[in-house]
Structure 1
């Protein structure tokens, strides 16, 4: 089967594939794009051909969509798997696939309730994508379902998380006791990576994410969330012509401050936080209604100065206005007033923080000095160390309103702007 794979394989990849065949639990962890997924999938294909007829074969991921994207799409790529790819059949949205002639069940495990999907099952072979994202109760239930004698196998991959994560504490550090074989991969273990791609990957991640996803460290989330923020690099006094008004992000507050941040795409292909609206009811000694906030936001956008244009041109219409998804009444207010382009923001906190970190760390994002609320929050936005000691990555919920508004605008449009990053320029600037 190794001969059928067109990609070059490193000694570390080949060694893990061979050694995993005798392991009850096999775990590949380490840096992104380090070759661990390819190695684990080859090992999985081998095990599919050896799996007994008694018992199910399952692939588990956070959602069906992540399974399709992270596992099935690569398996169906002839570039990655050569002639083996034609033996992988799946219809998008279906909860089963046929791999090498065997039916494989696809199971999303985004929360503890997912354990009900495998309760009572007998599983011969399981593959788990991004094991740290699987709830611990589901993982423990899965182990109890591997009951086809000594022929059952569980294969899993993961990027590192915090040092107190249950997967590290209860399994990796107790590998011999629990029958776990574990292989740690770095970018150097993937011989198919182009050096330019390696440089790009190293620029995509900063701070905590760099240590975990590039160095492969199981490290604590501590200190500043945006430790890559550099006033000299990320703050500007002058703005270029803005060729596209990308988005507004809105963090709704009544007692807490209400904040809106406007993002634009400059003619120099950088993103700019151009302007900010902020209302603090504590300082103003008066709370506002949804209608008053709506009027303020519309008035603010109507008076934003358009830089790089002749005269004192004012007024912008952003492509999107992304609102804190918990602020349903405020969204309804905007919709009732026929404010265009309103949508709930994508509110995946950690992924959103990563998107902001990439934009700041690469130098793509620049913030105008007039955004005083945002600039006042970013340096002090910190990880909750008590939560980290419980194995959770959470920022402190203090002075984060403009930071959240920025996250809503950037993360909800990340698919549009990631291609703007000039990694060569970013690498030079960082040096």
Structure 2
């Protein structure tokens, strides 16, 4: 059967698959726009007839992300039909078998990954989300695809307009022998219109332009554009159905910030209380043991909204992952549910932004440090000039704690907040 008969395809997907005969073939654009499916069909067609004088590789930020974003869809018969039987892979293994060929599975999450393919002679490669990889790795992969007829297939969502992938590859198609196809959300005609409308309402500002419109735009100004103190800071908090976590950005010289986050019966997240210690302002540093003791006292003093109950025991204590000694202190003090925070910065910012935009995250006035930081939490212009999206690392301690708590407990609260959708690239 023809690969193009495997599943319904849009006209743009078919065109990109048929035309994907350049040395580097790139599908870029918004989330859920159909670019990944098109790129995978083009990759399967290539693997079926790829040159035999070199190795084949598939690359993701990690092997887990490669499995989640690429292999899981490929092996799903509801998506790829009979073609799914042509892929054999155990998650975490170094080799997959695709269309009868052995394919190396490589994670490339930092600059140290480049030696993984050094010395290889490659006949072809597939790269998931090129902008998440180090430039040194991608450059090395291009150099290693030296067999006659070798090709690279890659996808990416838009990023900063100065990002190396756009600057050195997408904007230099003749020099790099690259062909690209730009996809927007509206290029996928098979999505349910209600889903598309809901997805569009999930994003604001920078993330709307990137994830919905597919624009390569620079981060500008305030990070949480949707935050409105008159709307999101509330005195009256409903009953909390689930105390998700207290979330800690650890500091000794810098402020220590701990936020108590709960899920309200109205299907919103609430920052109910904050403990904060600024050693510079107080002119005294605290030890790990003192912070642990103060944390216990603070939680014991919190009044549960709409009840007469005093004291809260959250399900998780989410801690700045760099604070190893403090995590150990909490364990020694018998605190249960201690976990290092999920610290993917942009993903965390995107999630918090979406919650504010949908009015699904509110803050009690007692969280004074967080309320003071939120309006000034801004993108770093100097980092943007280098093609990076980073917050300015000033007055961000409670903002970091908020991001840690919301992102790390997402699996617990997301099923109860139906207006937010889990978006797959």
1:71 Cα deviation (Å)? Answer: 0.5
The answer as to whether partners of 2:354 and 2:420 remain within 8 angstroms in 1 is no
Aligned residue for 2:266? 268
Matches within 5 A, 1:197-208: 197-208=195-206
Matches within 5 A, 1:60-209: 60-149=59-148, 151-209=149-207
Aligned length: 420
1:242 equivalent in alignment to 2:237: no
Aligned residue for 2:254? 256
CA RMSD across the alignment: 1.4
The match for 2:355 among 359, 366, 377 is 359
Secondary structure of 1:423's match?
A: coil
- Bigger drift between 331-340 and 136-145 goes to 331-340
Aligned residue for 1:394? 390
The match for 2:323 among 324, 327, 330 is 327
* Cα distance in 1 between the residues matched to 2:249 and 2:32: 34
TM-superposition CA deviations, 1:139-163 (whole Å, max 9, x none):
11111111112x1101100001101
* Cα distance in 2 between the residues matched to 1:340 and 1:423: 31
1:245 Cα deviation (Å)? Answer: 0.5
1:378 equivalent in alignment to 2:364: no
Gaps of 5+ in 2: none
* Cα distance in 2 between the residues matched to 1:328 and 1:166: 33
| TM-score (norm. length: structure 2) | 0.96
* Cα distance in 1 between the residues matched to 2:125 and 2:152: 5
Aligned residue for 1:336? 332
TM-superposition CA deviations, 1:19-69 (whole Å, max 9, x none):
00x211100000000000000001001001110211111111100001100
The answer as to whether partners of 1:17 and 1:40 remain within 8 angstroms in 2 is yes
1:424 Cα deviation (Å)? Answer: 9.1
1:214 Cα deviation (Å)? Answer: 1.0
- Bigger drift between 126-135 and 345-354 goes to 345-354
The answer as to whether partners of 1:30 and 1:158 remain within 8 angstroms in 2 is yes
After TM superposition, the runs of 4+ consecutive aligned structure 1 residues lying more than 6 A away are none
1:335 Cα deviation (Å)? Answer: 1.3
| TM-score (norm. length: structure 1) | 0.95
Secondary structure of 2:152's match?
A: strand
1:423 Cα deviation (Å)? Answer: 2.5
The answer as to whether partners of 1:4 and 1:84 remain within 8 angstroms in 2 is no
1:4 Cα deviation (Å)? Answer: 3.6
TM-superposition CA deviations, 1:274-299 (whole Å, max 9, x none):
00011111221211111211111100
The answer as to whether partners of 2:123 and 2:145 remain within 8 angstroms in 1 is yes
The answer as to whether partners of 2:304 and 2:311 remain within 8 angstroms in 1 is yes
Secondary structure of 1:236's match?
A: coil
Aligned residue for 2:284? 286
Aligned residue for 1:349? 345
Aligned residue for 1:429? none
Residues 384 and 181 (structure 1), Cα distance of their counterparts in 2 relative to 1, 3 Å cut? same
The answer as to whether partners of 2:202 and 2:420 remain within 8 angstroms in 1 is no
* Cα distance in 2 between the residues matched to 1:79 and 1:232: 47
1:405 Cα deviation (Å)? Answer: 0.9
Aligned residue for 1:17? 17
